[in-house]
Structure 1
Amino acid sequence: MASVASGPDAAIPIGTYQHTGPRWMYRQLKVGRFYTPWFASPVAQLILVSLVCFLCPGMFNAVSGLGAGGLVNPHDIDKANVALYSTFAVVAFFAGSIANRLGLRYTLTFGGFGYFLYVASIMSYNHNKNAGFLIFAGALLGVCAACLWTAQGAIMMSYPDEYSKGKFISWFWAIFNLGGVIGSLVPLANNLHNKSNSVQDSTYILFMVLMFVGFLLGFALVNARDIKRSDGTRVILMKNPSWKSELIGLSTVLKSDWYIVALFPMFFASNWFTTYQFNAVNLAKFNIRTRALNNVLYWISQMIGAFVLGYGLDAPRVRRSIRARYALVSLFLITMAIWGDGWYNQRQYDRADVTETNPLSLSYS
């Protein structure tokens, strides 16, 4: 049975105003007529987590969106993606247990490192064609990504109060996807006059620097037990005392909560399309500068969608069950419309039409 642990993320009683961390964490700065949130507040921690994801998976999205990580031939990068999502899928089942044992701060920080190494392996491959290092980095990134997104999800769902979760998720998604937007502007500016299909080393180096900064930012995350909401309540994170109880709890949830298993088909639909969109569409049809422009527009659209859905899901005048149904139907209709148009577009070419020596290389100019 779950219990409240005594580790770095252990809870303290709700309603208490005791400061469990250093006093500077709870001080507000006055800027003009406004006060900044204290460092150990849900808002400040949301911004910090968003910045980590802005600099790590956000920049990863920008690199991936170039098609094959900016490489001309997607063959080995596809193998790296297989390794990435294979380890991601397996480790994600146990990442909650890892987060409970290590704490959210170290789980998130460890997760950020894999993104830096992955981009380093792409740049290395560009010079020495070392597919082994590229595939290893992809597999390690899958492990790291499972940890990072588990920690991020736990923070998004436990730190805000009940009426702010949709808003917090929309803020996070906007800042996170801003990483994809800014990251896409880097190769767009770097390759504005480059009509070829390859990415310059300076682009990869800049991404690596930004990702390493994001990795270091993870260490600044506050322990969950030190978080104080605006109403004085604290964060409660339930923990299991051992790895065995964690795994038993996971098994029990999958057996007893049928709706969790019913969500699995939607989980499958959430990430599988990225390789197709980035490699079989963006890489296949466009040159490097147009791929970068497509990337900018792609991630801006996600930011807009996050705000609309996030605030819509927090609408106070509509029952939660009604909001959920509206969101599900809207998501289904939009998804079908997008893929319907994608199917129509895909009929214009196939794999045989696009090769390394004969790319379509369409340009916006």
Structure 2
Amino acid sequence: MATLSTDDKATPPHEVGTPDHSVREHGGTLQLPNSWKYKPFRFLGYKFPWFASPPVQLVIVSFVCFMCPGMFNALNGMGGGGQLDHRANNKANTALYSTFAVVGFFAGTFTNKLGIRTALSFGGIGYSIYVGSYLSYNHQKNLGFSIFAGALLGVCAGLLWCAQGAIMMSYPPEHSKGRYISWFWMIFNLGAVIGSLIPLGQNIHQTGDTTVNDGTYIGFLILTLIGAGLAWTLVDAKAVYRDDGSKIIVMKHPSWKSELWGLWETIQSDPYIVALFPMFFASNWFYTYHFSEVNAAYFNVRTRALNGVVYYIMQILGAYIFGFALDAKGVRRTTRAKGAWVALFVLMMVIWGGGYAFQKTYTRATFAEGSGREKKDWTDEGFGGPFVLYMFYGFSDAAWQTCVYWFMGALTNNGRKLANFAGFYKGIQSAGAAITWRLDDIGIPYMNMFASNWALLVGSLVIALPVILWKVEDTVSLEKDIVFTDETIEEVAPKARVATANETLGEKV
């Protein structure tokens, strides 16, 4: 990383007459506003970055997702949202991803306008209402409320995930993007692990197949409410400084018209992003198969909870391995991108090849009501093979999501463009999810669903290959990232620098 000399340091704006405090970094001196937000602190001998730094802000966002989407994943990971009757879960999730698909395309627009904190907190409330609808369903069987809660969550989640994606991809410097994605995915999935431990503990002696009890839903509800409140501890993006003194590229738009036009501008300026759309589409398609057509269809309630725990532990492991490998020092970014593509292709072929052998052993009719067969328990003979397969389904999910985010982050450092990329990503993946939850609701054969997953994952990798080969560069120049128009104003300090992997600090912004 480049160093900052006395004449070449980034000096953030602050109130006149307010003294700065200096922080020694990489042989240079950074001058930051005299505020608690910019004072590093030590704990148990370790030095931690200031509050308004990318790592701290990412951790906060991670814990918001730990408590909100993390609980959602734990609930859905049990299959049927914890309900013995899957109708409510299928219909609620169809509504959820239908609205998510629409909102997702415009989420970058609304998140830029509303701000990160508002978007994240609003999103968290949607998760609370969604969980509450299942608690209500336990007693009232109010299908309408569950569908409404799902539709509302689609709107809320669209904003939450776009805000999260913009932070995760634009806050870190280029050489750390893989690690930031990895850190987020690990903390986020730790929430799902803990969330899955709740129903496991409460149903550990329940060997039959039944609906989870009220305590599970109440625990999820409390955690999602805490997550929604935690979002308000974030600082504005314009107040965040990296440790080299560079600011986050934040776009300011004076009108809703320019915001909406930004989506079209993104397609015009970066048409190659369309080649990644099939990967976006595939990224949520497999959840219905994993949760409802493997876990819920084949295993009883306590075994489903155990499977959920290991599924998300493997997500943490997958995010760690891929995130840090994608930032491997001494290896060109173009080489890492190609290596990631090859690794994903091999994983999809090996894991889903094993899945094909397993899927041939049962159909929808195997454990249907009236079949006289009991779903599998962890004490049953032959449990080990499906258990290991389900673990690696979780591992491959984290690998896929981490690589997709990293690919997008490798294409640009522009905050506005990344927000729109994230909006496209969540919108398209949600369209796929809406379709697949509906297909499960109408009873499509399991083997057909399996085949659609395997074909979509491998096919989308092939379509994305030209982008990986020709558009991912070792570094993205500042000139490519910043486009000035009559309606677009860059909020970059006059002497701010953007440090890249292969460049020293260059032209003044």
Give TM class, smaller chain: over 0.9
Task: Describe the shift of the 1:305–1:19 C-alpha distance in structure 2 as closer, same or farther (beyond 3 A).
Answer: farther
Residue equivalent to 1:48: 60
Backbone CA RMSD of aligned residues: 1.8
Q: How does 1:121-270 map to 2 (within 5 A)?
A: 121-196=133-208, 197-270=210-283
Query: How far off its partner does 1:65 sit?
Result: 0.4
Q: Which moved more, 1:351-360 or 1:126-135?
A: 351-360
Query: How far off its partner does 1:22 sit?
Result: 7.5
Match of 1:218, SS?
helix
Query: Are 1:105 and 2:117 matched, yes or no?
Result: yes
Match of 1:35, SS?
strand
CA–CA distance in structure 1, aligned partners of residues 247 and 268 of structure 2: 31
Query: Does the CA contact (< 8 Å) of 1:54 and 1:175 recur in 2?
Result: yes
Query: Are 1:363 and 2:358 matched, yes or no?
Result: no
Task: Describe the shift of the 1:19–1:351 C-alpha distance in structure 2 as closer, same or farther (beyond 3 A).
Answer: farther
Query: Does the CA contact (< 8 Å) of 2:367 and 2:375 recur in 1?
Result: no
Query: How far off its partner does 1:351 sit?
Result: 1.4
Query: Are 1:15 and 2:6 matched, yes or no?
Result: no
1:47-79 Cα shifts (integer Å, max 9, x gaps): 100100000001110111010110001122111
Query: Does the CA contact (< 8 Å) of 1:80 and 1:138 recur in 2?
Result: yes
Q: Which has the larger radius of gyration?
A: 2
Query: How far off its partner does 1:19 sit?
Result: 5.0
1:109-135 Cα shifts (integer Å, max 9, x gaps): 111111111111011112111111000
Residue 84 of structure 2, aligned match among 65, 68, 72: 72
CA–CA distance in structure 2, aligned partners of residues 131 and 336 of structure 1: 39
Residue equivalent to 1:273: 286
CA–CA distance in structure 1, aligned partners of residues 198 and 236 of structure 2: 34
Task: Describe the shift of the 1:183–1:40 C-alpha distance in structure 2 as closer, same or farther (beyond 3 A).
Answer: same
Query: Are 1:329 and 2:324 matched, yes or no?
Result: no
Query: Does the CA contact (< 8 Å) of 1:72 and 1:356 recur in 2?
Result: no
Query: How far off its partner does 1:256 sit?
Result: 4.3
Residue equivalent to 1:345: 358
Q: 5+ residue gaps in structure 1?
A: 1-13
Query: How far off its partner does 1:18 sit?
Result: 4.2
TM-score by length of 2: 0.67
Task: Describe the shift of the 1:354–1:228 C-alpha distance in structure 2 as closer, same or farther (beyond 3 A).
Answer: same
Query: How far off its partner does 1:357 sit?
Result: 5.1
1:266-302 Cα shifts (integer Å, max 9, x gaps): 1111001111211111111111110011011111111
Q: How does 1:293-308 map to 2 (within 5 A)?
A: 293-308=306-321
Residue equivalent to 1:8: none
Task: Describe the shift of the 1:38–1:133 C-alpha distance in structure 2 as closer, same or farther (beyond 3 A).
Answer: same
Query: How far off its partner does 1:195 sit?
Result: 1.7
Q: Which moved more, 1:340-349 or 1:21-30?
A: 21-30
Residue equivalent to 1:3: none
CA–CA distance in structure 1, aligned partners of residues 189 and 150 of structure 2: 21
Task: Describe the shift of the 1:83–1:213 C-alpha distance in structure 2 as closer, same or farther (beyond 3 A).
Answer: same
Query: How far off its partner does 1:209 sit?
Result: 0.4
CA–CA distance in structure 2, aligned partners of residues 114 and 184 of structure 1: 20
1:307-363 Cα shifts (integer Å, max 9, x gaps): 111111111312211111110121122122222222221111111223245564211
Query: How far off its partner does 1:160 sit?
Result: 1.3
Query: How far off its partner does 1:239 sit?
Result: 3.3
Paired residue type of 2:154 = G
CA–CA distance in structure 2, aligned partners of residues 226 and 54 of structure 1: 24
Match of 2:362, SS?
coil
Query: Does the CA contact (< 8 Å) of 1:85 and 1:142 recur in 2?
Result: yes
CA–CA distance in structure 2, aligned partners of residues 33 and 77 of structure 1: 48
TM-score by length of 1: 0.92
Match of 1:338, SS?
helix
Match of 1:163, SS?
helix
